[in-house]
Structure 1
Amino acid sequence: MPDHRIALRRAIEAVDHITDPEPPWQDILCTARDLVGAESGTLIVFDARNKLLTLSAIGFSDACFSEYQEHYYSCDILEQDGRNAPAGTWLDTARMYDAAHLQRTEFYADYMAKHRMAQLLSLIIESNTVLHAAIGFQRASIDPKASDRLQSGDFARYFLALRSQLSQRERNQAIGWRSLESAFSEVQEALLLISRDSMVDKLSSLAVGYLDDAGGWTLHGRRLRHADPKVQRLFDAHCAAVARDGQMRSMATASGWGELFWVDISIAPQALSLIGGRMLLVRMRKKSAFAMPDIAKLQTVFSITHAEAAVLAGLAAGHSVEEVATLRHASVLTVRKQVASLLNKMECSRQSELVRLASLL
C-alpha cells in the first residue's frame, strides 16, 4: 500500500503540470502507467480523418513504436470502436471482445501478440470535430476487473483530476486565443488555428469575414480550402513543411483585380495545443492596390512630417505630383519641395523608390 500511495502522489504531481505551456507528457504517461500497474502507456491523438497525429509512449520498444506509427494505427480496434464515444469513456479489450474474436483480428494477431500485449485499456480524454485522443495502457496479462478498478477509489480520483486539468488547459487555451485574436485584429490580420491537415479548430471574427468574401478561401467540412487546385496544393505543401521543420512559410493568392490575400503559416504557440502535437497558426491579411496607405503609420515609420506623409500616401496610391497637389489644395511647387524632402529623409534617389518603401507597410 505505501508503494501505491507514492505512485498516486507522483502521478497527481505530474498531472498538475498539464496546464503548463508545454506539458511533460512523458512524465505524465510514466507515472500513470506505474499507478495503473501496466507494462506500457500511450497518449494517442487522431485527426478528424482518423490519421495518427501524435503518438507518445512509455515502455514501448523501438520496433513496437515504429510499427504502430507506420501501419497498425490504421487497424487499432480500440481506436476504431471508440471513435464515436464521448470523453470519459473507458475501453477494455477484455470486456469488449471474446478471445476468439480478438485473435482473428490483424491488430491482435500481428501486433498485440508480437509485442506481448494481452489486454488494452484506454480512456478517451478528448473527442471533438478536430481530434480524438486517448490515454492507454497495455498489460502483458489479463485482469478481468481492471476497468472496474480504474473507475473506483484512488484511480477514479486520479483520472478525474487528469480530465479536470485538461478542462482547465482548454479554458486557458480559449483565453490565449482571444488575446491573440484581439491583437491581430487591431492590425487587420485574420487568424485561423488549424491541424496539419488543415482542419480548422478556431478562427477569428475577421477570418470569418474573409472566408465569406468570395476571395477563393472557404471552409469545407471544417477544412480550409481554396477554389484553385494549384493554390490548394501549395498551401498543403506549406503546411506539411511547417509541421516538419517549424519554419514559417508565406504565400499570396489573388482575391480580385488589384487585390490579394497574403497568407503566413507558422507553428502555433504550444499553449494553443490542447493535447500532444502542435497546431499551425494561419495569418491572413488583405492587400489592395487601391487602398490609401495609413498616413499616421507612414509618419511614424519614416520619421517624416504629417504633410510629407500625406504626400507620400498620395504617391503610393498612384497619383502624380500634380494630382497630389490638386487633392491637397496645395501648389505643385510645395508638393515638389515635400517630395525632395522625402527623398532626402528616406535616402532615396528616385520617386519610384519612395513608392516602393511606402508599399511595404
Structure 2
Amino acid sequence: MSDDVSFRRASDAVRAVGAGDADWLDVVHTAREFLGADAATFLCHDKQSRSVRFVEQSGHEARLIEEYAQHFYQYDDATRRFWHAPAGTWYDSNVALEHESENDRIFWNEFMRPYQLQQLVGVVICNDDDAVTALSVQRMHIVQPSFAHAARLAEYERQLAAAFAARRASTRASLYALSQMLDPAREGFLIASPDGRALEFAPGLETLLGSHDSQLTLQQRRLTHRQPEWQTRLQAALRQVGANGEPVSLVLPDSWGHAYRLTLRGLGKPMNHGLRAAVGVRIERRSIFNVPGETALREHFALTQAEARLFHHLVAGLTIGECSEVLNLGTSTLRTQLSAILRKTGCRRQGELLRLAAMLAP
C-alpha cells in the first residue's frame, strides 16, 4: 500500500473518532498500516496507581495484552520515561539498545523477546497530572527512523491529540448533564473499563463510596467490593457487559441495613471515550431506614389516610399483627385496608407492594 493511501486512511480514521463516528480500535488498525508495524496499541497509564486504565490493540494475541496490563506494565520504563513529556513527543526503544534500568532488562528479556517483538515506537497523545495516553506500535524487526515523512507524522500526531480532546470533551459533557439528574447523597455514575477501572465518574461518587465502612469502594480508581465473593460477581458482570453490551443488574451488600444496586450497560459513542468495551455503571445506595412517608404514599397511589398509614408501617417492616398494636385497630380492619391498597396499586401480594413502595424511598 502506498504511503499516501495509508496516511489518508489513518487520518480519516482519526478524524472519524474525533467526530464520534468511529472508535479508537479503528485508529489502531490503520496505524499499523501507516507506521509499518506488526501490531499497535492505544493505551492509557494511570499515574497515581501506576496501572493501566485501558488498552485497545490490533495484531497481538489476547494473552500478551493481559500479561502486560496485569504485570509487565510496571517494568515498562521505555514508556514511563515519557510520563512528563508533552503531547506530540515520539519515543523509540528496541531490544538492541543498552537499557538504562533493571526494569528495562526485565521488560525486554521476559516480555518482549518471548513474543518476538524487537522495537516499540510510540507517540504521546495526551499528558496531564492524572494519566498519559499514547499510541504505540510494535515491530518484530528493528526499523531505523526516517525523517522523510516528518511533516506527515507531525500532522498525524496533531490529529490524534485533537480527536482525543474532542472525545473526552463529549464524554465529560454527557457525564455532567447526567450528573445533574442524580442525587449525590445516594446515586452515582461512572464509566469503567471491563476490569473495573474508572475512566470518568460523576462528581460526588468518591464521597458516596468513601465512608470508612463502605463495602463498595474506588481503590486506586478501580471499582472494588471488599468481600471477595461479591468482588468476583462484580468483575464477572463488568466483563459480561464489556463483551456484549447487554445490561446487567446487580445488588451488592453494604454495611448493615444498606445495599448497593448497580445497573451496568454498554455505552454509546457520546459517552464511551471511543472505547467499544466501555461500561456505564449507575450506582444507587439503598437503605432500609429510608421509608416513604404517609403523604407521599397517599398522593402517589390515591389512598385514604388510613390506608396510607398502614402502607407506611408495612414498608417500615411491621407485620399486620404489629400494626394492629401500634395503630390500635383490629387485624380484620387492617386486612380490609390492605386489600384496598393492593387493588389500588395493582399488586397481587404484599411482597410486590413493598418492592413498589421502595421506589418512592427518599
TM-score scaled by length of structure 1: 0.71
In the alignment, which residue of structure 2 is the partner of 1:242? 237
Q: Aligned pair in 2 of structure 1 residues 28, 222: CA closer, same or farther (>3 Å)? A: closer
Alignment partners' CA distance in 2, 1:347 and 1:172: 42
Look up the SS of the partner of 1:183 in the other structure.
Answer: coil
Q: Deviations over 1:60-119 (max 9, x none)?
A: 5x5xx644543694454523444454543321126xx863549x9355456656766553
In the alignment, which residue of structure 1 is the partner of 2:143? 142
Tell me how far 1:206 sits from its aligned partner: 4.9
Alignment partners' CA distance in 1, 2:197 and 2:290: 33
Alignment partners' CA distance in 1, 2:253 and 2:40: 45
Identity %: 20
1:341-356 equivalence runs, <5 A:
341-346=340-345, 352=350, 356=354
Q: Deviations over 1:155-209 (max 9, x none)?
A: 2122101110110100000011112222343995232444455554444445344
- Structure 1, unaligned runs of 5 or more: 327-331
Alignment partners' CA distance in 2, 1:192 and 1:345: 38
In the alignment, which residue of structure 1 is the partner of 2:283? 283
8 Å CA contact retained: 2:18, 2:162: no
1:95-106 equivalence runs, <5 A:
99-101=97-99, 105=105
In the alignment, which residue of structure 2 is the partner of 1:251? 251
Q: 2:158 aligns with which of 152, 157, 160?
A: 160
Q: Aligned pair in 2 of structure 1 residues 129, 234: CA closer, same or farther (>3 Å)? A: farther
Look up the SS of the partner of 2:51 in the other structure.
Answer: coil
In the alignment, which residue of structure 1 is the partner of 2:167? 169
Tell me how far 1:121 sits from its aligned partner: 1.2
In the alignment, which residue of structure 1 is the partner of 2:123? 123
Structure (1/2) with the larger helix percentage: 1
8 Å CA contact retained: 1:130, 1:201: no
1:79-90 equivalence runs, <5 A:
79-83=79-83, 85-90=85-90
Look up the SS of the partner of 1:292 in the other structure.
Answer: coil
Tell me how far 1:145 sits from its aligned partner: 3.7
8 Å CA contact retained: 2:189, 2:201: yes
Tell me how far 1:343 sits from its aligned partner: 3.9
Alignment partners' CA distance in 2, 1:294 and 1:3: 74
Q: Aligned pair in 2 of structure 1 residues 224, 356: CA closer, same or farther (>3 Å)? A: same
Look up the SS of the partner of 1:291 in the other structure.
Answer: coil
Q: Deviations over 1:213-259 (max 9, x none)?
A: 55525555445566xxxx43234313320232226352343445xx3
In the alignment, which residue of structure 1 is the partner of 2:244? none
Look up the SS of the partner of 1:262 in the other structure.
Answer: strand
Alignment partners' CA distance in 2, 1:201 and 1:178: 14
Alignment partners' CA distance in 2, 1:311 and 1:262: 27
Q: 2:189 aligns with which of 183, 191, 195?
A: 191
Alignment partners' CA distance in 2, 1:275 and 1:25: 6
Letter in 2 for 1:189: E
Q: Aligned pair in 2 of structure 1 residues 304, 334: CA closer, same or farther (>3 Å)? A: farther
1:10-29 equivalence runs, <5 A:
10-19=9-18, 23-29=22-28
8 Å CA contact retained: 1:92, 1:121: yes
Q: Aligned pair in 2 of structure 1 residues 313, 22: CA closer, same or farther (>3 Å)? A: farther
Look up the SS of the partner of 1:125 in the other structure.
Answer: strand
Alignment partners' CA distance in 2, 1:239 and 1:86: 37
Look up the SS of the partner of 2:292 in the other structure.
Answer: coil
Q: Aligned pair in 2 of structure 1 residues 298, 220: CA closer, same or farther (>3 Å)? A: farther
1:187-266 equivalence runs, <5 A:
188-196=186-194, 198-211=196-209, 214-217=212-215, 219-224=218-223, 231-246=226-241, 248=248, 250-256=250-256, 259-264=257-262, 266=264
8 Å CA contact retained: 1:15, 1:165: yes
In the alignment, which residue of structure 2 is the partner of 1:292? 292
8 Å CA contact retained: 1:4, 1:35: yes
Alignment partners' CA distance in 1, 2:265 and 2:352: 34
Aligned length: 337
Look up the SS of the partner of 1:216 in the other structure.
Answer: coil
TM-score scaled by length of structure 2: 0.71
- Structure 2, unaligned runs of 5 or more: 242-246
Letter in 1 for 2:232: A
Alignment partners' CA distance in 1, 2:175 and 2:20: 13
Mean CA deviation greater in 160-169 or 205-214: 205-214
Look up the SS of the partner of 1:266 in the other structure.
Answer: strand
In the alignment, which residue of structure 2 is the partner of 1:329? none
Alignment partners' CA distance in 1, 2:23 and 2:30: 11
